[in-house]
Amino acid sequence: MSISTIYSAAIRGIEGQIVTVEATSVSSSQPRMDIIGLPDAAIKESQGRVRSAARALNLPLKKGVLTVNLAPADIKKEGTVYDLPILLSLLDLNGFEKIDFSECVFLGELSLSGELRPVNGVLPMAVAARDAGFKYLFVPADNAGEASAAVGITVYPVKSVSQVVEHFLTRNQIKKVTFNKSDFFTITGNTVLDFSDVKGQDAAKKALEIAAAGEHNVLLIGPPGTGKSMLASRVPYILPPITLNESIETSKIYSIAGLTHELTPLLTHRPFRAPHHSLSPAALIGGGSNPKPGEISLANNGVLFLDEFPEFDKHSCEVLRQPIEDRNVTITRVNATVNYPCSFMMICAMNPCKCGYYGHPTKACTCTPQSRRNYLSMISGPILDRIDIQVEVNALDFSELDTAVAAESSDVIRRRVSRARAFAMSRFDGEKLANGQPLTCNARMQPKHVRKFCVVDESGRELLQQAYEKLGLSARGYDRILKVARTVADFDESNIIRKAHIALAVQLRSLDRKYFNN
């Protein structure tokens, strides 16, 4: 009894794992195919696609009772990615069984005619194949771009099974796809949405600039039509350009989520996710019977924008607590535990009341004091405590809208942000977080880092004490004011946090007292 062995891959969290596809046949007058190794329904149905594709292309399969094993057998296998390797393991062609496939990995879903259709999760599977020492990767042509980003493995784009067969049995070789790093870095610096499009709102822009430099969470409060959404959508373009490692990490998540249409072949800009307030907690955090990444993971290394913040389900907001702190979300199910990164900058926007016009200079608010309190109470204290910067976005007057003076561009602001980040990074050289990852921005500082790097002069300490007592800050609020002040000082390239830095940090932190303590 001979056993054919073909290699494929699976997904666990955002990482790939090599799967061995073993096939054997036993003579029988009643032919059938059994697929074992914890396959899901889609894999069990692959036998129909495999047989139909083989008939359409006149490719003979082994006869009798066919057994296909997906190893390791104790890991749940999902999806249609195994169609191609299953078919190849069952082919009964002269010379095919003598080919050495030990350096090859195959991925792809089959159509009934034998063409290959794209599958989800190709990028992490390509990285896993490369890291496991495989040299060649055969993927559907539509997935070849993202797979090529796993530099170090040769990627072949496949349109049909017949191409694979000809590649190994004839000289008709498939042309490989390569990843161009220079093209990637050329695109990453491009600005798509510009801050110069937003008239006025200088205070809000300055607050967002500080937030971008330290990766601080922000709450924008103001009436409708003041530019809160416009400001938030432009924040990714004042952040430092996404690095290749950041892009690969986040692109893995997009690949698993089936959003490969956004990869060219990798994400070239920091993601901006703006989910509707009606989404479920699982859609926000991630989950499902077969866990999938949620919006917070899709915003990894970018911005998560929660517009109409009080309208979000309260439970959805509360489950944000742990991911905001840990920048990682763990989803546990009976048969698996997966981890998804979620290192995002959160921007929340809201009206000051239900009608939106509380405090508006010209439009009267129709809400009662009790309805305003009910509206604002939708945001819990613990969540508000995790938002470093709060800024009021006021209604503009005619002169601000009608001005011909051009506002600062995103490129100019980004240069200042990048300089402040670079100053912070020189200070953090070699510093690690509890999870072993490097410390890269002020918002991620842990208590030991706050004690080490947030050195305040005497006048600044006096002001901080006054703010702590007057505003009734929690210990977390105290730490977050220090972190924001540390970022403000970085713009001045000062290792010492001074009184002016504390004053601005307190100002950016105290807006919640105007609205939420009434």
Structure tokens at 465: 């004490």
Question: pLDDT value at position 267?
Answer: 87
| Average pLDDT value for the chain | 88
Domain ranges of the chain: 4-169, 186-418
Structure tokens at 218: 């922000």
Percent of the residues in the chain that have a pLDDT greater than 90, as a whole number: 49
Residue 125 DSSP label: H
Q: How far are the Cα atoms of 317, 499, 508 from residue 511, in angstroms, in the given order?
A: 20, 19, 7
The residue that leads in pLDDT, 469 or 413, is 413
CB count within 10 Å of CB 394 equals 18
In angstroms, rounded to a whole number, what is the distance separating the alpha carbons of residues 373 and 353? Answer: 8
Q: Residue 372 is which amino acid?
A: R
Q: What DSSP line would sit under 84-102, residue for residue?
A: HHHHHHHB--TTGGGS--T
What are phi and psi for residue 390, nearest 5 degrees? -125, 130
User: Looking at domain 4-169, which CATH architecture does it have?
Assistant: 2-Layer Sandwich (3.30)
Of 23-27, 297-301, 428-432, highest mean pLDDT: 297-301
- What is the mean predicted confidence (pLDDT) over 353-358? 86
pLDDT above 70 for 55: yes
- What is the mean predicted confidence (pLDDT) over 261-269? 79
Question: pLDDT value at position 510?
Answer: 67
15, HSE (Cβ side, Cα atoms, 13 Å): 8
- For residue 45, give the nearest of 78, 4, 3, 10 by alpha carbon: 78
Given CA atoms 174, 179, 183, 184 in this order, what sign does their dihedral have? Answer: positive
In angstroms, rounded to a whole number, what is the distance separating the alpha carbons of residues 271 and 277? Answer: 19
Q: Domain 186-418 is in which class?
A: alpha beta
Structure tokens at 371: 């309805």
Question: pLDDT value at position 265?
Answer: 79
Burial zone of 61 (CB within 10 Å; 0-12 exposed, 13-18 middle, 19+ buried):
buried
pLDDT above 60 for 513: no
pLDDT above 80 for 66: yes
- The pTM of this model reads 0.88
Residue-wise pLDDT tens digits, 463-488: 989 888 887 777 888 888 999 999 99
Structure tokens at 419: 């300089």
Contact status, residue 145 vs residue 265, Cβ threshold 8 Å: yes
